[in-house]
Chains A and B, each alone.
Chain A
Amino acid sequence: MDRFVWTNGLLEMNETLVIQQRGVRLYDGEEKAKLDVGVVLLSTHRLLWRDQKNHECCICIPLSQIIFFEEQAAGIGKSAKIVIHLHPAPENKEPGPYQHSKYSYIELSFKEHGQIEFYRRLTEEMTQKRWENTPVSQTSHGRTRAVGIVGIERKLEEKRKETDKNISEAFEDLSKLMEKAKEMVELSKSIANKIKDKQGDITEDETIRFKSYLLSMGIANPVTRETHGSGTQYHIQLAKQLGDMLQAPLEERGGMMALTEVYCLVNRARGMELLSPEDLVNACKMFESLKLPLRLRVFDSGVMVVQLQSHSEEEMIASALDNVSDKGSLTAEEFAKLLGLSVLLAKERLLLAEKMGHLCRDDSVEGLRFYPNLF
């Protein structure tokens, strides 16, 4: 870190910005530098770093000082890094953040990713060595910079200010919006209380409308505590759509699919206007009352599945027993392979058969194996 010098961060004439990346922390060797997180910039001539919060704090190093560099993959709790080995600092080096360092290398830690592209560009620049063709005057000229290039830096500064302004405006607008949303929440609470206390006569129609208002706002139904779930037109429609859409996939998968599988299948097919997990659950809850040939089922373990009405429980258990007897014994993995089911669902079927007394288990560290129950 003692190779770095202070700089005003402005580019010199003939120097071009190649890439920049936020969220980078510097390391002196393997120790964190006494600087905060900042933006690292690569130009045709230099490697610069600027503090994200304090734009005045800016340091740089000429690319010619780099001997070699390498990537260091991310690890547990550690961001990806680029390690840069440096030549010793020249004797007449200008002042920088470190007078002295025991390390001859630094590390850039990419807390917000971006290391892949940065590494690529650094490689390019170090190969091309463009600084050799177009030398720039270093700080011997003090703070004078070529006119015209100042414009680039000014634009960057303006963009930064603009972004900051946008964000604070966005936050302000957000707060105002939330105030209005809060009013809606209060109103819905009041309505729910009145429904409870029967202050006024609510028709079924109005109840349905109220539920759909709650759905639109994302407010939990204060009366039933369930998130504005079943009973809205939206979920009824959805349930019917699912009834059509899931027939074939379910048949292919032995009549049963985990709800998470259904979620992925349906949302991948939709591409946009995706379903929320709760939308899916609430729609599936309606299968029975809408007399659709599907059912939502929750196993003891908490696993939720959608299954075809036609695949009755007895059938499933009988088939499980048949398969196990046939092979003598089966683990969930073996059973899954046999039937083309996921291991999770295969296990649930075996557990179900066990619950009904048709199978018994042998539970060891080698795995869980099921045998026909001869007792």
Chain B
Amino acid sequence: MHRRGVGAGAIAKKKLAEAKYKERGTVLAEDQIAQMSKQLETFKTHLEEFASKHKQEIRKNSQFRVQFQEMCATIGVDPLASGKGFWSEMLGVGDFYYELGVQIIEVCLALKHRNGGLITLDELHHRVLKGRGKFAQDVSQDDLVRAIKKLKAMGNGFGMIPVGGSYLVQSVPAELNMDHTVVLQLAEKKGYVTVSEIRDSLKWERERASHVLDHLLKEGLAWLDSQAAGEPQYWLPALFSELLSRDVTPEEANQMTP
């Protein structure tokens, strides 16, 4: 480690500058860093005290977590930025959200072949809870949203699309612009959409509608039912998984004809 400008002349110059600053009552940066070090120790103590009294609250109470996160955001602090941060180490918030991140990634990966990388927040919530088991801490949708926001740092196209009062969670880097999003929102009610419906509701020309639907097909986000009565239907597995499919029990499976 070196100090810049070593040498008698440089030292003298520095002393002069320091003296000038001190005269004007300005505190120097290095003094402030020393001050920060002390304040940090004090803060750490306060945080430890807080943790010993309320760590359970954060673990058990999702409302409290929301409050905590919002307050941090207001003052400009990100408690989830690093596992090495005080917040994470002492309050355990980090592990809670980072583990949730792992579970979210795993669920999305497992279902990708079926829904192309798009899943409703509800279904994601349901499956994450299921995966966590009966005795694990409860997880709210707000918790999921925050964990997903953090996952964005790793590239890979994690994002959220507002649809019908909730969200679709995207976990692949498929490019989805406003047109695609609007069609997804239209399909939300029934789980599928047709070209005519798009033209009626959105007043688009046939070509624009087809273009958007083709893109969704290519990205594996939509499936085509060309044998539907009337006109072809474009189904979005992300939306209809909960509506129509159910987990089949072994007894039911035995009763089904092969």
Stretch of A37-45, A49-57, A123-131, A207-215 with 4 or more beta carbons under 8 angstroms from chain B = A207-215
Residue contact B154 to A273, C-beta cutoff 8 Å: no
Stretch of A92-100, A190-198, A287-295 with 4 or more beta carbons under 8 angstroms from chain B = A190-198
Residue contact B102 to A267, C-beta cutoff 8 Å: yes
Residue from A180, A199, A277, A365 in contact with B46 in the complex, judged by beta carbons closer than 8 Å: A180
Interface residues of A in 107-125 (CB under 8 A from B): 112-113, 117
A354 interfacial contact with B, CB 8 Å: no
Contacts A194-B29, A216-B85 given: A113-B129 contact, CB under 8 Å?
yes
Residue contact A194 to B28, C-beta cutoff 8 Å: yes
A217 interfacial contact with B, CB 8 Å: yes
Number of cross-chain contacts by CB at 8 Å? 238
Q: Which B residues are CB-close (under 8 A) to A215?
A: 81-82, 84-85
Interface residues of B in 33-87 (CB under 8 A from A): 33, 35-37, 39-40, 42-44, 46-47, 50, 53-54, 57, 61, 64, 67-68, 71-72, 74-87
Residue contact A277 to B151, C-beta cutoff 8 Å: yes
Q: Which B residues are CB-close (under 8 A) to A234?
A: 82, 84
A132 interfacial contact with B, CB 8 Å: no
Residue from A195, A202, A206, A260 in contact with B154 in the complex, judged by beta carbons closer than 8 Å: A260
Residue contact B154 to A281, C-beta cutoff 8 Å: yes
A77 interfacial contact with B, CB 8 Å: yes
Stretch of A3-11, A68-76, A142-150, A313-321 with 4 or more beta carbons under 8 angstroms from chain B = A68-76
Residue contact B37 to A259, C-beta cutoff 8 Å: no
Contacts A76-B242, A304-B156 given: A218-B29 contact, CB under 8 Å?
no
- Count of chain B residues near A, Cβ 8 A: 89
Question: Please, how many angstroms separate the alpha-carbon atoms of A278 and B47 in the complex?
Answer: 23
Question: Please, how many angstroms separate the alpha-carbon atoms of A275 and B101 in the complex?
Answer: 11
A16 interfacial contact with B, CB 8 Å: no
Stretch of B92-100, B177-185, B194-202, B250-258 with 4 or more beta carbons under 8 angstroms from chain A = B92-100
Residue contact A175 to B21, C-beta cutoff 8 Å: no
For the complex formed, measure the closest distance between the CB of A177 and the CB atoms of chain B, giving whole angstroms: 5
Q: Which A residues are CB-close (under 8 A) to B1?
A: 203-205
Residue contact A76 to B88, C-beta cutoff 8 Å: no
A182 interfacial contact with B, CB 8 Å: yes
Name B216's closest neighbour in chain A (CB-CB). A365
Residue contact A167 to B57, C-beta cutoff 8 Å: yes
B14 interfacial contact with A, CB 8 Å: yes
Residue contact A77 to B157, C-beta cutoff 8 Å: no
Q: Which A residues are CB-close (under 8 A) to B214?
A: 365
Contacts A73-B246, A170-B57 given: A184-B68 contact, CB under 8 Å?
no
A263 interfacial contact with B, CB 8 Å: yes
B218 interfacial contact with A, CB 8 Å: yes
A18 interfacial contact with B, CB 8 Å: no
Residue contact A187 to B36, C-beta cutoff 8 Å: yes
Residue contact A209 to B33, C-beta cutoff 8 Å: yes
Residue contact B29 to A303, C-beta cutoff 8 Å: no
Per-residue interface assignment for chain B, residues 154 to 183, with 1 indicating a CB less than 8 Å from any chain A CB and 0 otherwise: 111100000011100000110000000000
B122 interfacial contact with A, CB 8 Å: yes
Contacts A76-B243, A260-B156, A276-B88 given: A183-B98 contact, CB under 8 Å?
no
Name A173's closest neighbour in chain B (CB-CB). B50
Interface residues of A in 232-270 (CB under 8 A from B): 234, 258-260, 263-264, 267-268
Question: Please, how many angstroms separate the alpha-carbon atoms of A194 and B138 in the complex?
Answer: 45
Residue contact A171 to B95, C-beta cutoff 8 Å: no
Question: Please, how many angstroms separate the alpha-carbon atoms of A268 and B99 in the complex?
Answer: 8
Question: Please, how many angstroms separate the alpha-carbon atoms of A23 and B40 in the complex?
Answer: 41
Contacts A274-B99, A301-B173, A303-B156 given: A174-B71 contact, CB under 8 Å?
yes
Residue from B33, B53, B112, B172 in contact with A173 in the complex, judged by beta carbons closer than 8 Å: B53
Question: Please, how many angstroms separate the alpha-carbon atoms of A272 and B106 in the complex?
Answer: 18
Contacts A174-B50, A177-B50, A273-B83 given: A263-B29 contact, CB under 8 Å?
no
Q: Which A residues are CB-close (under 8 A) to B152?
A: 277
Residue contact B80 to A218, C-beta cutoff 8 Å: yes
Question: Please, how many angstroms separate the alpha-carbon atoms of A228 and B77 in the complex?
Answer: 12
Residue contact B218 to A367, C-beta cutoff 8 Å: yes
For the complex formed, measure the closest distance between the CB of B95 and the CB atoms of chain A, giving whole angstroms: 5
Q: Which B residues are CB-close (under 8 A) to A201?
A: 3-5, 14, 17, 28, 30
For the complex formed, measure the closest distance between the CB of B73 and the CB atoms of chain A, giving whole angstroms: 11
A166 interfacial contact with B, CB 8 Å: yes
Question: Please, how many angstroms separate the alpha-carbon atoms of A363 and B211 in the complex?
Answer: 13
Residue from B18, B26, B81, B155 in contact with A303 in the complex, judged by beta carbons closer than 8 Å: B155
A67 interfacial contact with B, CB 8 Å: no
Question: Please, how many angstroms separate the alpha-carbon atoms of A234 and B87 in the complex?
Answer: 16
Residue from A170, A199, A268 in contact with B28 in the complex, judged by beta carbons closer than 8 Å: A199
Q: Which A residues are CB-close (under 8 A) to B61?
A: 167
Residue contact B54 to A365, C-beta cutoff 8 Å: no
Residue contact A263 to B71, C-beta cutoff 8 Å: no
Per-residue interface assignment for chain A, residues 66 to 89, with 1 indicating a CB less than 8 Å from any chain B CB and 0 otherwise: 000000011111000000000000
Q: Which A residues are CB-close (under 8 A) to B53?
A: 169-170, 173
Q: Which A residues are CB-close (under 8 A) to B218?
A: 363-365, 367-368
Residue from B33, B67, B98, B242 in contact with A74 in the complex, judged by beta carbons closer than 8 Å: B242
Most buried by B among A227, A344, A364: A344
6 further A-B contacts with Cβ under 8 Å, apart from A263-B101, A276-B150, are: A174-B71, A187-B39, A263-B105, A275-B83, A279-B82, A304-B156
Q: Which 3 A-B pairs have the closest CB atoms?
A: A200-B28, A304-B155, A194-B29
